[in-house]
Copies of this chain bind each other. A is one copy, B any other.
Amino acid sequence: MSLILVLDIIGTLAFAISGVLTALHKRLDAFGILIIAFVAAVGGGTLRDVLIGAPIAWMVDLTYVYVIFGATVFSVIFRKRLGYVRRSLFLFDTIGIALYTIVGVEKGIAAGFSPIICISLGTMTACFGGVLRDILCNEIPIIFRKEIYATACIIGGVVYFILLKTVIPLDFIVIISGSIVFIVRLLAVYFRLSLPSIYTKEELEQQ
């Protein structure tokens, strides 16, 4: 089994758990929880595959479906131990975006797209499932909140393509650029980093 497939499965696991936690918080019923876990886990990849024109990954390989189903049952049963708090949701969400960014970039390269499009595909894969999860749960999407989010995915994608020009082996490139997404997002939330404002003082006061 290739590294990229392993990452994809772990990302699926992380996002499915993030979906369950959001759905539990909203007191959805068993079916609603499964749907949100599913949408969070495969939403981004599905959009990517539709845009690329590739077969949808989870429809061809049932491993994804089993992982999501297992993760849902597991995290509903052990929800007390998962902490049931914002912090664990944040952790799984951040692991998910790091892994999915790299999966998206690599699938874009495999389909023959240019670096800019591959980085966009990686960012979409990483962010879209979480946006759908939050919209369906009637929360403001995490991505639109203050701290750097999609920007972390873009930085990771850019690093991936820079390292691709060096002699570093591919597996290390994957690990390094994935870790960068994870760390950038972690630091951004920890230090409450946002993008610099483009508005003048007057404009902000007009609001």
Contact = CB atoms under 8 A, between A and B. Distances in A.
B59 A113 contact: yes
Count this chain's copies in the assembly. 3
A33 B65 CA distance: 35
Interface string A58-88: 0100100100000000001000000000000
A114 B30 CA distance: 23
Interface residues of A, number: 34
A46 B51 contact: yes
Majority DSSP secondary structure for residues of A touching B = helix
A190 interface: no
A72 to B, nearest CB: 11
Contacts of A196: 30
B116 A62 contact: yes
Interface of A: 27, 29-33, 35, 46, 50-53, 55-56, 59, 62, 65, 76, 113-114, 116-117, 144, 150-151, 194-199, 203-204, 207
